[in-house]
Structure 1
Amino acid sequence: MGGICSRKRNQQVIEDDFRRGVSGRYCRSGSSKWLGARSLRSMANHSPGGGTCPSLMDLCINKIREDFHKYNSFSILPRDISQQIFNELVDSHCLTEASLNAFRDCALQDVYLGEYPGVNDAWMDVISSQGSSLLSVDISGSDVTDNGLRLLKDCSNLQALALNYCDQFSEHGLKYISGLSNLTSLSIRKSSAVTPDGMRAFSNLLNLEKLDLERCSEIHGGFVHLKALKKLESLNVGCCKCVMDSDMKAISGLMNLKELQISNSSITDIGITYLRGLQKLSTLNVEGCNITAACLESISALAALACLNLNRCGLSDDGFEKFSGLTSLKRLSLAFNKITDECLVHLKGLTNLEYLNLDSCKIGDEGLAKLTGLILLKSLVLSDTEVGNSGLRYISGLNKLEDLNLSFTSVTDNGLKRLAGLTNLKSLNLDARQITDAGLANLTSLSGLITLDLFGARISDSGTAYLRSFKKLQSLEICGGGISDAGVKNIREIVSLTQLNLSQNGNLTDRTLELISGMTALRSLNVSNCRITNEGLRHLKPLKNLRSLTLESCKVTASEIKKLQSAELPNLLSFRPE
């Protein structure tokens, strides 16, 4: 749910769990134990209507966090308690260089400081003091230099390290990483320090299972130093234009490789042929590469493929007849190619498909008839295709569908009647101008919807009454519709909502904020391009779970939002204007 919802018809599709090579700034790294604990704690804090009494441990942790400035050291505490206090200070953005010193020699296992402001070599001194207890470190976006990396040499048990978007260390600093022989995960996205010579440091990391070098622009020729990494299962070199066919030849002997991201590189058909021997490869992303139908035969030889991304490769219908053997395929992305209905004939045998992306392909109603046998399909993207109302009769039988994108198609209100049988549908994207209140009425049988995107649909105040049918709805977008404060009266009854986008409904006033003040489960709210004023901000005080607030092009000021944040909304991390 973006800032002011300025969408374009050629907008690229971002897939949640199948990266297309252009991803966010950084991703978390850490031991599964730590991530699980943080996840559970987060759910407890933000569960809707939670009246559960906090545990004695949580009360103690919260008290210590409030008074943390009074303590010089937490090293006397058990490690798990010190870890929780550390995590809470990071999550609340209260950790400073001074307060960090209290965690010296605490034997912390996980230090997640990705994109945290002010992290530099001085912080690394305390981080490295955790010694052999330290298992995971993320200092992405920091100002750490070679000297800071040198301090990690005593953290011999380190398993996961993320240095994404760090530009203050050089290839010489990578030499200090070479001694961390227990590393299983290393991520250094968009770094000029990763050169062919710098990649020599990786040759000693024999336990490495995951290596992420996305957007590193100088790595061509360094792949020879990866030959010894026989345990490597995942390699991401997406968005690296420097990567060429010869680099694929260098890694062709990594027989344990299961995931390979080479999107938007300079790989051609020749480079793909070098991958034929990687029979454990289950995920392959070649989006935006200069390949032709000739390489599809090499891809079809990868019998273990479960996820394949061929978006934006300029492919036509030719060559897809070879795909009949890819019976393990569960996710297939063919978006922004020149394929037509004829291509879909060759997908009939892919009966294990759960995800199919045909965004902006030349697919029409009759082409969908060829998909009726894909009964396991859970997600189908048909945005910006030539599909209309009549084609939906073929989709109506895919009763396992959970996610359907019909944005920028010719589907109208009447066509939506055909979706009534898709009772498992959880997410529906209808950001099209031809959808009105009548279309919304045709969807009321889909009571299990969790996400509903009505961007640009002509929904009126009376039409919002139909939204009451969606008792499980967590994310709602009516961006650019025609609703006013009167329509929000119906929306406020959907107390399960955690994300709400009402931007570009120019008639909304401060009354809207008053009406939604009881929706305490909200974590993200966007009411941009409306008539909201500073006076209306007071109505947001009860929304204690709010983490993102967007009020661009409203009559509000950043200073007033900051006052609200500091006094009433402790969990608010992102707001605009800022």
Structure 2
Amino acid sequence: MKVMNEKKELNLMFDLSLFLRHNFARVWALASKKLTSLEIGYISSVMVTELLSPNVGPHQYPNQIRPSILPAIQKLSLAVDYITDTMVGTISKGLALLTHLELRDAPLIEPRVTFDLTNSGLQQINQHGRLKHLSLVRSQEFLSTYFKRVNDLGILLMADKCANMESICLGGFCRVTDTGFKTILHSCSSLYKLKVCHGSQLTDLVFHDIAATSLSLTHVSFRWCNLLTNHAIKSLVRNTHLKVLDLRGCKNLGDEALAAIGSLCELKMLQLDNSDISDVGIAYLQHGIISSLVSLSVRGCKKLTDKCISVLFDGSSKLELQELDLSNLPNLSDNGVLALAKSRVPISELRMRQCPLIGDTSIMALASMQADDDRGHGSNLRLLDLYNCGGITQLSFRWLKKPYFPRLRWLGVTGSVNRDIVDALARNRPFLHVACHGEELGTDPWNNIDSSYMHDYEELDELEQWLQEGEWESDDEEMEDAEDDADVVVE
């Protein structure tokens, strides 16, 4: 059996804190020398440095250097406590074949200079000249903190060695100005993916002369870059082959930006969360990119009403939209969901959390929704998030039972509606993951243990399995008992 051309992947889950620091490198010395990709969910920067440092081994002569551990690594993805100059330098020097480097930290306290990234650390990146993809992100998970010791000079020094870079992601570089970001755009001629998060000094001027570059960007993300306005987007869309555009948290973007975005005929994903767009702006999409768009998020766009749904879906027969996020829209009501259900668009993921006017009528409409393949009521929805919707009552749970939503895998609800019914629903539908504590659904790449378990059932719809096993009528009794008990409590 030939397996030479097959991709081999092994996922291991264990707690690194169980290893004593002086034993950690010794354990990894046993790893295969052919290992090309390594992703670790959390490890301290000190352990990374000790792992990759060519120290003298315990049974070697003083002048004998230990051979490099993991010499074939090409892709390294780490979540650490602190991204430091020492760690970055050790990685860049020790891994000669590295093409992908992804580092993310989440400090618990403000880093001291010895445990932080500075201009000196950026200068050490890509010492072997092979790096194509770079991601450096400081998370705001525990503390509102940034890379305060990096400025435009650091970006300039990095860009000087990264001319062949294809993908760059920078998060939390609060002292980098337009000068630094423009250096990247004008130095990295092969760049097709650019992501900037919390770029507090990034302004429209970065894109003023973007037409003078040879860039052909396809993936662009400027998340929480609050100084960007509509003028920046008008310049950015000169990259006509854009496929992914993430503008979440850019509060100053409005309908003029959507008018420009509407000209992008290849755009697949558009995220506009918390922007200043209105129903008028959504109308610009209806005659432009909507036929190519696969994923749209307008979460927290307070000006949107039910009209945005009718504008998007009325009279459109070529829609490919599969993912739609309408969360936190105070003016979205059941009427908007009814319009969505009537459109028969085969949406597979629908998020409507924190919508106070969404109620039981919306659930009934979605449960009755039939797609063109006519494979059951609500048949295409695989994810439905209704957490903290104001009008959801116990009545909705009757429409979440079999035979409705046979492909549903993720459901977000408010557990306090009636915990017994929620628990009964979870037991009644073992393939359905019911979340009732407000957690986001399907977004955590480390929480995918169930994906391999579910894979065997992808080709067989839940509805078909019920029919084959003859459980159509018998397994709803527990749900009915829970509803009856709930009715007694309500009375």
Q: Note whether the superposition's TM-score is higher than 0.5.
A: yes
Higher mean Cα deviation, 447-456 or 269-278? 447-456
Change (3 A) 1:342 1:431: closer
| Match of residue 360 from structure 1 | 328
C-alpha contact 2:224 2:249 (8 A) present in aligned 1: yes
Cα distance in 1 between the residues matched to 2:129 and 2:170: 19
Tell me whether 1:214 sits opposite 2:159 in the alignment.
no
Query: Secondary structure of the residue that 1:356 maps to in structure 2?
Result: strand
Structure 2: runs of 5+ lacking an equivalent: 1-5, 56-66, 108-114, 139-146, 439-452, 455-491
State which of 113, 135, 150 in structure 2 corresponds to 1:187: 135
**1:273 corresponds to which letter in structure 2?**
K
| Match of residue 161 from structure 1 | 101
Cα distance in 2 between the residues matched to 1:472 and 1:207: 45
State which of 368, 380, 383 in structure 1 corresponds to 2:350: 380
Tell me whether 1:177 sits opposite 2:130 in the alignment.
no
Structure 1: runs of 5+ lacking an equivalent: 1-32, 43-87, 402-419, 481-495, 498-578
Change (3 A) 1:98 1:396: closer
User: How far is 1:274 from its partner?
Assistant: 1.2
| Match of residue 434 from structure 2 | 476
**2:133 corresponds to which letter in structure 1?**
S
| Match of residue 27 from structure 1 | none
Cα distance in 2 between the residues matched to 1:460 and 1:122: 49
**2:195 corresponds to which letter in structure 1?**
N
- Structure scoring higher RCO (CA < 8 A, sep ≥ 6) equals 1
Please report the TM-score for the alignment, with normalisation by the length of structure 2.
0.68
State which of 9, 14, 21 in structure 2 corresponds to 1:96: 21
| Match of residue 199 from structure 1 | 155
Identity across the alignment (%):
21
May I ask how many residue pairs the two structures share in their alignment? 384
Cα distance in 1 between the residues matched to 2:121 and 2:94: 15
C-alpha contact 1:351 1:374 (8 A) present in aligned 2: no
Query: Secondary structure of the residue that 1:262 maps to in structure 2?
Result: strand
Query: Secondary structure of the residue that 1:353 maps to in structure 2?
Result: coil
Please report the TM-score for the alignment, with normalisation by the length of structure 1.
0.58
Q: How does 1:62-461 map to 2 (within 5 A)?
A: 93-94=18-19, 96-101=21-26, 103=28, 107=33, 109-113=36-40, 115-117=42-44, 118-119=46-47, 121-126=49-54, 129-130=68-69, 133-142=72-81, 145-151=84-90, 152-153=92-93, 155-165=95-105, 167-190=115-138, 191-200=147-156, 201-220=158-177, 221-226=179-184, 227-249=186-208, 251=210, 253=213, 255-265=215-225, 266-289=227-250, 290-323=252-285, 324-326=287-289, 327-337=291-301, 338-348=303-313, 349=316, 351-361=319-329, 362-371=331-340, 372-373=342-343, 375-383=345-353, 384-392=355-363, 394-396=365-367, 398-399=369-370, 421-431=377-387, 439-445=396-402, 446=404, 448-459=407-418, 461=420
Change (3 A) 1:255 1:172: same
C-alpha contact 1:353 1:374 (8 A) present in aligned 2: no
Query: Secondary structure of the residue that 2:308 maps to in structure 1?
Result: helix
| Match of residue 3 from structure 2 | none
Cα distance in 1 between the residues matched to 2:295 and 2:82: 38
C-alpha contact 1:254 1:278 (8 A) present in aligned 2: no
**1:272 corresponds to which letter in structure 2?**
I
User: How far is 1:463 from its partner?
Assistant: 7.8
Per-residue CA deviations over 1:516-546 (Å, capped at 9, x if unaligned) read xxxxxxxxxxxxxxxxxxxxxxxxxxxxxxx
Query: Secondary structure of the residue that 2:43 maps to in structure 1?
Result: coil
C-alpha contact 1:356 1:381 (8 A) present in aligned 2: yes
C-alpha contact 2:360 2:395 (8 A) present in aligned 1: no
Cα distance in 2 between the residues matched to 1:465 and 1:142: 40
**1:211 corresponds to which letter in structure 2?**
I
Change (3 A) 1:297 1:354: same
User: How far is 1:250 from its partner?
Assistant: 5.6
User: How far is 1:100 from its partner?
Assistant: 0.4
Query: Secondary structure of the residue that 2:206 maps to in structure 1?
Result: helix
Change (3 A) 1:171 1:248: same
C-alpha contact 2:245 2:271 (8 A) present in aligned 1: yes
The Cα RMSD (Å) is 3.6
Cα distance in 1 between the residues matched to 2:279 and 2:187: 39
Per-residue CA deviations over 1:139-160 (Å, capped at 9, x if unaligned) read 5425564344444335332111
Higher mean Cα deviation, 212-221 or 134-143? 134-143
Query: Secondary structure of the residue that 2:152 maps to in structure 1?
Result: coil
**2:50 corresponds to which letter in structure 1?**
A
User: How far is 1:244 from its partner?
Assistant: 0.8
Per-residue CA deviations over 1:255-311 (Å, capped at 9, x if unaligned) read 332111112111111111111211121111112221121222211122211111111
| Match of residue 63 from structure 2 | none
C-alpha contact 1:163 1:189 (8 A) present in aligned 2: yes
C-alpha contact 1:448 1:470 (8 A) present in aligned 2: no
User: How far is 1:240 from its partner?
Assistant: 1.6
**1:343 corresponds to which letter in structure 2?**
C
